[in-house]
Chain A
Amino acid sequence: MAASSDIREKLRMKRRALQDTLVKNKNEDDIQALVPSAKFNVDNQPTAMKEAEGSDEDPGESLRRTLRAQREKRKTKLLEQPFVQDEDVGEVSPTQYNSPNEGPSSRVDDSVVSTRPPTGSQRGVSVKSEQPSSSLHLDTFVTRHLQEKLRAARSKGESLQQQETSKDSSEPVSRLQRLKDRDTITRFDREADPVSSGRHDDPLTLRSRVKFQEQARRVEKDFPTTEEAYNFFTFNYEPDQPSKPESKSKMRQKQRDGVEEDDRDENGQEEAEVEEEDEAEEDNQDQNEFQSEEAPLVRNEDNLFVIDHLPQDFVEVRKAEYVGFKKRVQRDCELLFTPSFRAVPTSVKLPENTMPRFLEDEGLYVGQRPAVSLTNKNISENRILKMAEGSKWFGDDGKILALPDPIKESSTRPPLFHMDEELDPALQTVYRKAMKSQYANLYIAGATDPEGDYQLDVDVSGLIFSHHPLFSREHVLASRLAQLYDQYLSRQQNNLTGHLTEKLNGLRKALRNMMRIHGEQGSSEALQHRISEYSLEVRNTRQLRDLEQEKDRTLLRSIIKVWKEIKSLREFQKYTNTPFKLFLRRENVDRALDEWEYEGEILKEVLELEAESEEQYQKKLAEYNKQLEDWKLWRKKQKAKQKKKKKKSQTQDDTEEEQEEEEEQDQTESEDQFEEDPVKPEVPERPDIDSLERWVREKASRIRRKPGEAILVPELCTSGGVTASDLCPRAEVARREDVSRRSLFIKILYNYKEVSRTDSCSLSTDFRVHFGQIFNLKVLNCPQSINLQVFEEIGSSYSLLAQVFVPVPDPSVVTGRAPIEEIEFSSNQHVMFDHEGVGSDVPLSFESDGSNKLTLLTSGKLSCCVSWGIGEEGVPLAPPLSQHPGGTHRGLGHLDAVSYIGASGLYDMKKIGEWAVQSRLDPNDPKNTSIMHLLKVASSGEVTAPDYFRLEHLQEEFNFVSDEEMESSKRFRLLRLRNQEAPEFRNYKFVPLLEREVSDKVFQDYEKRLKDGETIDTRQHLNPHRAVVAKYLQQIRESVINRFILTKHHYQLSDLVIEEEIPSIGILGINLFKLAESKRPLKPQRIERKKVTAQNLSDGDIKLLINVIRAHNIPIRKPQSSKPGQSSQSAVQGSDWYLSQVQVRPFVEVSFQRTVLQTTTADGPNPSWNEELQLPFNAPNGDYSTGSLQSVKDEVFINIFDEVLYETGPDDKSRATSIHTQIEKHWLGSVKIPFSTIYSQSKIDGAFKVNTPAVLLGYSREHGNTSVYDQWRSTQGGTFVRLFITVEPQLVPGESVREKIKEAEFNSQEDERLLQASEKFEKHAAGGYPDRPCITTVIDLSGKTIFITRYIRPLNPPQEFLDAFPNNPQEATSLVARYVSLIPSLPDQVSFSATCDLLSTCDQFLTLLAGDEQEHAVLLCNYFLFLGKKAWLIIGTAIPEGPTAYVLTHEQSGYFIWNPSSGQFYEKGDTFCPLQTVGCLVNSDNVWFNIQENPSPLHTNFDITKVKMWKPFFSRSFSHPGLSSVQVNVKPYLYTSIFSFSLECPCIPKMF
């Protein structure tokens, strides 16, 4: 202990020293230290201060400052104790002034408290109490950190406390006193109103004061001052707060890192911590009071302890290196908490000032705590301490509160040795039925009774095979015998023969009686009738009896026959397989009596038969007589007729008649006579009595035993022995072994699910299996099927032999009362054996010659019984009837929407009624109530079946509101219009919820538009014609938009799914080839950029890139011979100057959407800038959708200026010293490129002809005629600028609706075959040459697909052109070209706001007075054709239009390419021809696709007859079907005068 105290002393000394230096330094650079110190904290935070809340900047700064201070302090080592104390105090007080948050009052407060002597023992309490508020605006980290230190120290330091205090007493006392003095001074200095500023105003500061006070008190034994006493009694001390174990442990860890090198005694460290604690208390206080500046000062002390641990801790090394990582770690610190697994010191866990109290030591019983590993315990302790109010989980002994381990070492359950008598009744097991789950109700249809549990008893008693594959032949016979015997027995039991005989006798007796009565009393009608009825009955009964007797007889015979066969078989095979034995018992009869009975029977029968036949005869005779009468009558008529004809032969006729009558009597055959039949009826035969008797005797001998013969009674018994296996041949032994191997079991399937199975019983030699098992099934589901599956088991494998479906029993069938039923089964499986077993499904013959084969199938009888169980009170556990599946019909009837609504009349009532009668529906059966009700209603005539058919008979019921309401409601109208995608409401948001909130204004535009549909406003247009045209265009636009909307709903896969295209072999090859390419090729090619969909774009994302490469043939300045304003200097230099100077200094200025950029200035008429200009692009209204971008009408203006520098000087005086230069821009020309072109083509690369004014004053095109090239170029007379324009990022151009329109199958009048061919042609063209446009079909204004050749037809231009130059066709041609070019151009994109390419006919074109290049080209081509030229339409790409149409003419001098929009023509070889690609040529006969290597017109051979260069659409295989033209024959020109005028006046186009 002494050693430890020594060390402690040393530590203390050191600390003091450090404090001293720190304070000194701090006082020196008071506020300067603030800034650097911030870094320290930031550095430290990841490691030591994990749980800084991150809310405050202060800790960082303060730590930073401390670091700085410490560093400085380390340089100067002052160890003067009193000075230290003094400074120490001073350190506290000045900081108070700096508090930004608290007024002077609180400061005063503070000073008051600090001077207060210590009072009670609330130290720990107060320390903790400040915590909750700390998060608000205090530095939580520091507070906690220090608190924990305090606690840690206290755990061990408690014991040393007394000693320490005594040792320390001198210093602290003096210090505090000094502090007191000092404070009073400051207080009086600063305090403005000490009384009014109550200390309770700020509880936060108060609490910290309290803390400080306790700190002081702990050291010093003083009496409380009055303020303190007051404070003590008024202050509301808050309960303990949880502290943060984690940071504490971190701190400790850190400390150890430093300390462990020194290998210090643990005690010493603890003491140090105690020391630290003192300071920490002060720290806390200050920290709490003054957020910002002074806190770091105080924390200096805190870090003093670290100072001698490691120098690295104080070096600002870590600051710069790991900013990113630190930030991340810092962020982690804010979010994550990793509990330490280090032990938590007891002091932290316990309330302040409490010793751990060990109850065990006090003699109290403490249960054994549950075993938890130390690490886990530490972790959970740390975690709990982190929680709010965590310390309440700790007991007095500093451990987590825990109940005694509930798990006992040994089983607490007493072994149940004395089961019977001594079992605790509480431990008695109680049987509870298995609880049915709630969901079971779902299965029983309509089960209302949740308690209803139903039991189905399935009794499987046994199985008998009537045939089995393992039957031997003898078995087959035996089973047949057994069957026959069974039959015999059952017949005997029923004794039908005897029964019928009795009945017959009775009937006969009755008949006899009646006959007797009849004979006596004469016949009454009723009696006669009865007699005949009786005799009929007798006859029927006799016949039945005969039948039965015959059956008996044959049965007996067959039994005997089978038995004989068995006997012969047994003899043959010399062994017996079956125990059957048939005994025939003879019952001797009295022969005389028997014979008498026999004869009597025969007699009776004969008599009866006689009577019957007699009766029959009589009947027939009567019939015959009647027929004869008729015949005679007919005969007489005939004769009368004959008499009239020939009277002479009358006598002859008479004789004939007599003869015929004789014949009639002789006739022995009775035949049916037809009344109408003129054939004479025949006399019925008199029954032959003898033959009758003979027939009766014959029959009797056949079906009855002979009189006197003994009665044979067969008796089948199984007493016979079976030959032992030893004596049998091998085959039989094998069979028997096979039999013994087999066993059978039965699976019970309830509702197709196996619920149970019987034990496996081996097959006995007599092929019977006895199971005798009863299965009780608890039934939850409605029984639908009960299925018993018979399985045969051979070894371990088993196979399904047969299935027996047992009918679901009626609820009345309950166990005990249900008889065992034998249900037959059979199986068609094919079995064959090589032993004696006969097999199954195998032909088998018992005859020696193999004839009379029979095929036996495995079959048998299963005796089983299915019945409902009986509950405890004898209640059958059967579900009520309504729960059977059939019962659900009733419920359905109620739910049937059709019948509910009354549409039941749809059914044919009559048929239902008939069916009901036929099927004998039980009217009382609840199942049938609905049908019965229906029938009743139907028959009563209340409902008459409608004789119409309603298509949607439910429509009315489901109507939302009535139509009138729908119409009148503004809201519904709005919704409907939006749904119909009316243009005004297509994207209407927030249809008001309430009717009244829909303003009438909403519809104004819409109604106005509807109204305007009819009227044409002429004011806005030049003349009525234009107004009509505008209207018409508007209509077309709408129809196109509507179609577009329609097609928008036709989706393709590519519309929905982005999928990488499969790299074809070719592309793969190219890619492979690319690998070998040089990294920086000499001629780099543009790489395809990634396309950006328009949806996620915003303003500023899109830029227009314009690369101004160079220009050609820019006009040059004329020599300025006479310009008086110019300086004389230039004149002086003269022509030499001009020759040496540039002729022109052009630059390009690009303006687009209010942005103007310009290139640098270049020199000469052929300048090269090669500059890229970026212009921002803003979509209208920030809408970057495809449709919106397409309709952008902005244009890019590219102007070429000449920069002219003039030197101007105000006077000559200043010229010597300064030069004044005036810059002038001289406009030379411009190029206009619409944005829609750029957008649709995504990039434009080429030379543009610059529009230059006809006359450029001061400039000339005449160059120096220096070269042939220039000369040639000058003849072209154009200035060209080469540009590359694109949009960055590349936008996805609006997909062509054309494809979709085609897809949508808009009506076309073209032949289907033609359309297919054109599609194929275009596809092929696109596949082979994707960059060459190929058009074979176009869409006209009505949306129909039309083959393009129909558009080409000679058309007369206005006659004036032809008349103008009658002798010069060349002039006329150019006139016509000019005429066409003057027609305004209107791109389809702009006019129809979609990339829908419509081609109007020339007539329509001239009517509309606007159209795109294609229409111009078609018109021009037609005019040329009229003029007798060879003209074609070129479908190709040009600059800047992109895909467009030009016109090709063939003259003597060669091919000429005409730009229809400008009226200019180019020779084929012209390099400045804007046409870049020739896709295909079209004339009225055919379409040719360019398959030449180079598609540029320069290299194209226009000889369309060459098949290798031009692929014709119509070829020999697909000849031209003779398509008629869509163009008009002759165009009458109404406005010819205007147009001819317009030819002369170029200002006319501007009117359009």
Chain B
Amino acid sequence: MEKTSNSSVFLLTVNGQIEGANFPDYDNLYCKYCYVYGHDWAPTTGLEEGITQITSKSSQSHKLIWNFPLETTFKSTNPSGWPQLVVSVYGPDVFGNDVVRGYGATHIPFTPGQHIRTIPMFVPEPTWRLQKFTGWLLGRRPEYTDPKVVAHGEGREVTRVRSQGFVTVSFHIMTKDMKRMGYDTGPTNSSTVQFATSSQSRDAQ
């Protein structure tokens, strides 16, 4: 695809971090993330997949904090297949087996600026009760064959899931050439974006 080098693309820069999660019942969790995007997208820089450290709750706060930075730039020729962030959370169960604690996905926000997304997480349910028990006992709970499944709608009707908790992700989005290519993602132009992000970050401090 050497011809893409001179063809026009627009860029989407995703900065941000997987801030943390709220899993009331679980502790010592870590998180994996990956991006799912369409045919017309390609990451140019940054990590496409990652895995956070294991974090545990403090006695005061029930939030799990990862603060795991995300920094990826995508280029694309087509907004269809807009990248999605897929996060999956794992952690030990009572027997110390590493089991999945949740899957979730969210689209990367398409307006420039700061965004905070709280991703509800879910896990697939065992098909029947006995399996649930044995899965619990043996630490082999049902998992998706591929975490990226949660970014697609196809075939999901065959699964049953249970909601688990929430993962909070903050995004700082920058786009380049989107408007020039005719994709207007919002009223903000670059200068106001600059202002908005800076003011928000001040607020955050």
Contacts from A to B (Cβ < 8 Å): 975, 978, 987-994, 997, 999, 1049-1053, 1055-1060, 1062-1063, 1093, 1095
Q: Are B135 and A990 in contact (CB under 8 A)?
A: no
Q: Are B42 and A989 in contact (CB under 8 A)?
A: yes
Interface residue B59 (Cβ < 8 Å from any Cβ of A)? no
Residues of chain A within 8 A (CB-CB) of B78 are: 975, 991, 993
Q: Are B145 and A993 in contact (CB under 8 A)?
A: no
Q: Are B77 and A993 in contact (CB under 8 A)?
A: yes
Partner of A991 from B77, B146, B149 at Cβ < 8 Å: B77
Q: Are B144 and A1057 in contact (CB under 8 A)?
A: yes
Residues of chain B within 8 A (CB-CB) of A989 are: 1, 4, 39-40, 42
Known: A1055-B155, A1057-B144, A1058-B145. A993 touches B39 (CB 8 A): no
In the assembled complex, how far is the CB of residue B165 from the closest CB belonging to chain A, in whole angstroms?
19
Interface residue B124 (Cβ < 8 Å from any Cβ of A)? yes
Q: Are B8 and A997 in contact (CB under 8 A)?
A: yes
Q: Are B144 and A1058 in contact (CB under 8 A)?
A: yes
In the assembled complex, how far is the CB of residue B168 from the closest CB belonging to chain A, in whole angstroms?
23
Partner of B77 from A987, A992, A1056, A1095 at Cβ < 8 Å: A992
- Inter-chain CA distance A654–B191, complex, in Å, is 121
Partner of A1059 from B9, B42, B131, B181 at Cβ < 8 Å: B131
Q: Are B142 and A994 in contact (CB under 8 A)?
A: no
Q: Are A1056 and B181 in contact (CB under 8 A)?
A: no
Interface residue B159 (Cβ < 8 Å from any Cβ of A)? yes
Known: A991-B77, A1062-B131. 6 other contacts (CB 8 A): A992-B7, A993-B9, A1055-B155, A1056-B124, A1062-B130, A1095-B146
Partner of A1051 from B7, B39, B143, B158 at Cβ < 8 Å: B158
In the assembled complex, how far is the CB of residue B143 from the closest CB belonging to chain A, in whole angstroms?
5
Residues of chain A within 8 A (CB-CB) of B199 are: none
Residues of chain A within 8 A (CB-CB) of B155 are: 1049-1051, 1055-1056
Does more than half of chain A's interface fall in helix, strand or loop, or is it mixed? loop
Produce 1/0 per residue, B136-166, CB < 8 A to A: 0010111111100100001111110000000
Q: Are A1056 and B8 in contact (CB under 8 A)?
A: no
Interface residue B28 (Cβ < 8 Å from any Cβ of A)? no
Interface residue B127 (Cβ < 8 Å from any Cβ of A)? yes
In the assembled complex, how far is the CB of residue B55 from the closest CB belonging to chain A, in whole angstroms?
15
Residues of chain A within 8 A (CB-CB) of B42 are: 989-990
- Inter-chain CA distance A522–B145, complex, in Å, is 110
Q: Are B39 and A988 in contact (CB under 8 A)?
A: yes
Partner of A1060 from B8, B9, B138, B157 at Cβ < 8 Å: B138
Q: Are A978 and B145 in contact (CB under 8 A)?
A: no
In the assembled complex, how far is the CB of residue A408 from the closest CB belonging to chain B, in whole angstroms?
30
Q: Are B159 and A990 in contact (CB under 8 A)?
A: no
Interface residue B3 (Cβ < 8 Å from any Cβ of A)? yes
Q: Are B131 and A1052 in contact (CB under 8 A)?
A: no
In the assembled complex, how far is the CB of residue A95 from the closest CB belonging to chain B, in whole angstroms?
43
Partner of B7 from A997, A1055, A1059, A1062 at Cβ < 8 Å: A997
Residues of chain B within 8 A (CB-CB) of A994 are: 7-8, 181
- Inter-chain CA distance A1050–B154, complex, in Å, is 9
In the assembled complex, how far is the CB of residue B52 from the closest CB belonging to chain A, in whole angstroms?
16
Q: Are B77 and A990 in contact (CB under 8 A)?
A: yes
Known: A1049-B155, A1056-B159, A1060-B131. A978 touches B8 (CB 8 A): no
Output the nearest chain B residue to A1059 by Cβ-Cβ distance.
B142
In the assembled complex, how far is the CB of residue A901 from the closest CB belonging to chain B, in whole angstroms?
24
- Inter-chain CA distance A989–B158, complex, in Å, is 30
Chain B's interface size range is 35 or more
Q: Are B77 and A1093 in contact (CB under 8 A)?
A: no
In the assembled complex, how far is the CB of residue B98 from the closest CB belonging to chain A, in whole angstroms?
14
Partner of B40 from A990, A1049, A1057 at Cβ < 8 Å: A990
22 A–B contacts from the bound complex (CB under 8 Å): A989-B1, A990-B1, A990-B4, A990-B9, A991-B78, A993-B7, A993-B8, A993-B78, A994-B7, A1050-B155, A1051-B154, A1051-B155, A1051-B157, A1051-B158, A1055-B155, A1056-B124, A1056-B149, A1056-B155, A1056-B156, A1058-B144, A1059-B126, A1060-B134
Residues of chain B within 8 A (CB-CB) of A1095 are: 146
In the assembled complex, how far is the CB of residue A499 from the closest CB belonging to chain B, in whole angstroms?
73
Interface residue B26 (Cβ < 8 Å from any Cβ of A)? no
Interface residue B10 (Cβ < 8 Å from any Cβ of A)? yes
Known: A992-B77, A999-B3. A1093 touches B145 (CB 8 A): yes
- Inter-chain CA distance A1093–B145, complex, in Å, is 9
Give 9 closest A-B pairs by Cβ, nearest first. A1051-B155, A993-B77, A1059-B142, A1060-B140, A1057-B124, A997-B7, A1057-B142, A990-B4, A1053-B158
Residues of chain B within 8 A (CB-CB) of A987 are: 39
Output the nearest chain A residue to B155 by Cβ-Cβ distance.
A1051
Residues of chain A within 8 A (CB-CB) of B145 are: 1055-1058, 1093
In the assembled complex, how far is the CB of residue A1436 from the closest CB belonging to chain B, in whole angstroms?
32
Known: A1056-B145, A1056-B156. A990 touches B127 (CB 8 A): no
In the assembled complex, how far is the CB of residue A35 from the closest CB belonging to chain B, in whole angstroms?
36
- Inter-chain CA distance A1051–B155, complex, in Å, is 5
- Inter-chain CA distance A988–B142, complex, in Å, is 33
Q: Are B10 and A1060 in contact (CB under 8 A)?
A: no
Q: Are A990 and B144 in contact (CB under 8 A)?
A: no
Known: A1058-B142, A1060-B138, A1060-B140. A991 touches B39 (CB 8 A): yes
- Inter-chain CA distance A58–B186, complex, in Å, is 54
- Inter-chain CA distance A1049–B80, complex, in Å, is 20
- Inter-chain CA distance A896–B47, complex, in Å, is 47
In the assembled complex, how far is the CB of residue B128 from the closest CB belonging to chain A, in whole angstroms?
8
Output the nearest chain A residue to B149 by Cβ-Cβ distance.
A1056
Residues of chain A within 8 A (CB-CB) of B135 are: 1059-1060
Residues of chain A within 8 A (CB-CB) of B134 are: 1060, 1062-1063
Residues of chain B within 8 A (CB-CB) of A1053 are: 127, 158-159
- Inter-chain CA distance A553–B143, complex, in Å, is 87
- Inter-chain CA distance A992–B76, complex, in Å, is 9
Residues of chain A within 8 A (CB-CB) of B158 are: 1051-1053, 1055-1056
Residues of chain A within 8 A (CB-CB) of B142 are: 1057-1060
In the assembled complex, how far is the CB of residue B9 from the closest CB belonging to chain A, in whole angstroms?
6
In the assembled complex, how far is the CB of residue B147 from the closest CB belonging to chain A, in whole angstroms?
11
- Inter-chain CA distance A1050–B77, complex, in Å, is 30
- Inter-chain CA distance A1095–B143, complex, in Å, is 16
Known: A1058-B143, A1060-B140, A1063-B134. A993 touches B181 (CB 8 A): yes
Output the nearest chain A residue to B4 by Cβ-Cβ distance.
A990
- Inter-chain CA distance A103–B130, complex, in Å, is 79
Produce 1/0 per residue, B1-29, CB < 8 A to A: 10110011110000000000000000000
Residues of chain A within 8 A (CB-CB) of B10 are: 993
- Inter-chain CA distance A81–B149, complex, in Å, is 80
- Inter-chain CA distance A978–B4, complex, in Å, is 17
Output the nearest chain A residue to B134 by Cβ-Cβ distance.
A1062
Residues of chain B within 8 A (CB-CB) of A992 are: 4, 7-8, 77
Residues of chain B within 8 A (CB-CB) of A997 are: 7-8
- Inter-chain CA distance A999–B2, complex, in Å, is 13
* Interface core residue of A978, A988, A1056, A1058 (most chain B CB under 10 Å): A1056
Q: Are B7 and A1056 in contact (CB under 8 A)?
A: no
Output the nearest chain B residue to A1096 by Cβ-Cβ distance.
B146
In the assembled complex, how far is the CB of residue B94 from the closest CB belonging to chain A, in whole angstroms?
17
* Interface core residue of B4, B7, B140 (most chain A CB under 10 Å): B7
- Inter-chain CA distance A987–B124, complex, in Å, is 30
- Inter-chain CA distance A363–B182, complex, in Å, is 74
Produce 1/0 per residue, B65-89, CB < 8 A to A: 0000000000001101000000000
- Inter-chain CA distance A678–B204, complex, in Å, is 105
- Inter-chain CA distance A1379–B111, complex, in Å, is 71
Q: Are A1057 and B143 in contact (CB under 8 A)?
A: yes
Residues of chain B within 8 A (CB-CB) of A1093 are: 145
Output the nearest chain A residue to B150 by Cβ-Cβ distance.
A1056
In the assembled complex, how far is the CB of residue A1385 from the closest CB belonging to chain B, in whole angstroms?
34
In the assembled complex, how far is the CB of residue B20 from the closest CB belonging to chain A, in whole angstroms?
19
In the assembled complex, how far is the CB of residue A828 from the closest CB belonging to chain B, in whole angstroms?
43
- Inter-chain CA distance A978–B78, complex, in Å, is 13
Residues of chain B within 8 A (CB-CB) of A1058 are: 142-145
